[in-house]
Amino acid sequence: MINARFPLAIARRLGQLIVPIALIAGIAAMGAEPAVAAAKVQRVVSPSGIEAWLVEEHAVPLISMSFSFKGGSAQDPAGKEGSANLLTTLFDEGAGELDGQGFQAREEDLAMKLSFEQDRDNLFGSFKALSESRDASFELLAQAIEAPRFTDDAVERMKREVVAQVRRETRSPDSLVGEIWAKAAFPEHPYGRPGNGSEASIAQLTRTDVVDYYGRVLARDGLKIGVVGDIDAATLAPLLDKVFAGLPAKARLAPVADVAPKPGLTEATLDTPQTLIRFGTIGPKRRDDDFMAAYLMNYILGGGSFSSWLVKEVRVKRGLAYTVDTELAPRSHSGLFVGGLGTRPEKAAESLDIVRSELKRMAETGPTQTELDEAKAYITGSYGLRFDTSEKIATQLMAVQLDDLGIDYFERRNKLVEAVTLDDVRAAAKKILSHELTIAIVGPKAGN
């Protein structure tokens, strides 16, 4: 869940501040290296040993920082699902000497933006500040990170908001089919539990649970930081200590086992005009040698919008679905290839048969050389679009650290794409798509 409160005054002052044209020049040219590759990525280490990657950009008076901690919803105790999600809503509900209203008023005065969210494996933070209020903004961030209040009244208030969100999700076919798929794919594993929690589990959460999760997960050893903007390394280093040095040196994470999705078919009835289908199987982890080959295969099969096999067969030729797509979804403890579509209830079986047929065809024959060349051209040419704002660049700096790809990855990435051969892609397709699928189907009863 994203803590999305963002006062209008802050939006007006920050909303138009993006990375200048000089930094993103060349991203429109096919095959151009992204801006961050052209800029100097610096490894900054604070006096206490906290590391961040920095791209300086002094033309705009703005600093963006993305950071993450290992943990996420996989660290929610059984029966207390939603602990991480609830925590993400509470960092600006009072910290240090400020209560919630005082903290949020101070955010607005500084035109500072602070938000948090979580996924299965990580807890993320995003921070933006104007150069003119840099020191005060970092001080406020430090209070949120190191001295959150987590008062009982704030916990109860935010529990109500989270429950309302979860109720909306239970009425959303997209959310429901995803939850059913995860439960079927990962029974008895944290990945199979509701990532945002359930009404029942959230109702059980207390301030003690929030404090326990915070104390176990927020630590320096699982911390990754990316910073972009109007700040140099010498200035950033002590500010890193101001914000993070007070955290414990090591997290106390519960062990999470590596796991593969369990194949099978699960169906659920929901009164909705469409039937939603989600499917998936074992895919590569991010650091697997064949990840880039699998990435190209996925683009050709279902990740390339109107150019993909599945869109052509399911939507263009037969008009069975408005959208159908696939993606690689690597996690810390499981590699995944997943996809989904929505179709008319009476066409669900036919649509699923076509998906199976296309996956089988890709596994047996693979793409053509022309299809691979076109996929490479798009993937290398569009890479720079991930770096067209300071916030996106900061996020990419953090993400590459999370995946342990190396500080020179931005320079190497397109070369890695170009180095993939047709045989590599065909081998990856055969390896991934020969597995049985985990399938979840949500829609009205037959005959309705």
Do 94 and 144 share a domain, yes or no? Answer: yes
Do 118 and 79 share a domain, yes or no? Answer: yes
- Overall size of the chain counted in residues: 448
> Residue 17's pLDDT is what?
44
Do 117 and 179 share a domain, yes or no? Answer: yes
319: tokens are: 């008009």
Do 272 and 231 share a domain, yes or no? Answer: no
In a domain, 2, yes or no: no
In a domain, 250, yes or no: no
> Which residue range forms the structural domain that includes residue 128?
8-244
Amino acid at 73: S
> Residue 171's pLDDT is what?
85
Amino acid at 1: M
CATH code where residue 411 lies = 3.30.830.10
Which burial class, exposed, middle or buried, applies to 370 when counting CB atoms under 10 A from its CB (0-12, 13-18, 19+)?
exposed
User: Which of 214, 244, 274 is the last residue in one of the domains?
Assistant: 244
Total number of domains constituting the chain: 2
> Residue 34's pLDDT is what?
55
* Sites in the chain below the pLDDT cut of 70: 1-39, 446-448
Question: pLDDT by residue (tens digit) across 81-112?
Answer: 999 999 999 999 999 999 999 999 999 999 99
Nearest-10 Cα torsion for 154, 159, 160, 164: 140
Dihedrals φ, ψ of 195, to 5°?
Answer: -65, -35
The CA distance from 41 to 33, in Å, is 14
User: Which of 193, 212, 244 is the last residue in one of the domains?
Assistant: 244
Which stretches of 268-368 are DSSP H helices? 291-298, 309-310, 348-365
In a domain, 371, yes or no: yes
In a domain, 251, yes or no: no
Do 281 and 221 share a domain, yes or no? Answer: no
Do 187 and 287 share a domain, yes or no? Answer: no
Amino acid at 359: L
In a domain, 249, yes or no: no
> Residue 415's pLDDT is what?
97
> Residue 306's pLDDT is what?
86
Do 343 and 395 share a domain, yes or no? Answer: yes
Question: pLDDT by residue (tens digit) across 218-258?
Answer: 999 999 999 999 999 999 999 999 999 999 999 999 999 99
> Residue 446's pLDDT is what?
58
Do 25 and 70 share a domain, yes or no? Answer: yes
Do 291 and 360 share a domain, yes or no? Answer: yes
In a domain, 21, yes or no: yes
The CA distance from 135 to 231, in Å, is 11
The CA distance from 162 to 177, in Å, is 20
Residue-by-residue DSSP string for 349-405: HHHHHHHHHHHHHHHHH---HHHHHHHHHHHHHTGGGGGSSHHHHHHHHHHHHHTT-
In a domain, 257, yes or no: no
Do 297 and 168 share a domain, yes or no? Answer: no
Mean pLDDT score across all residues of the chain: 92
Nearest to 206 by CA among 100, 82, 102: 82
Do 333 and 363 share a domain, yes or no? Answer: yes
> Residue 4's pLDDT is what?
42
In a domain, 254, yes or no: no
Sheet holding 438-443, edge to edge: 264-269, 438-443, 275-282, 336-343, 321-328
Do 23 and 78 share a domain, yes or no? Answer: yes
User: Which of 178, 212, 244 is the last residue in one of the domains?
Assistant: 244
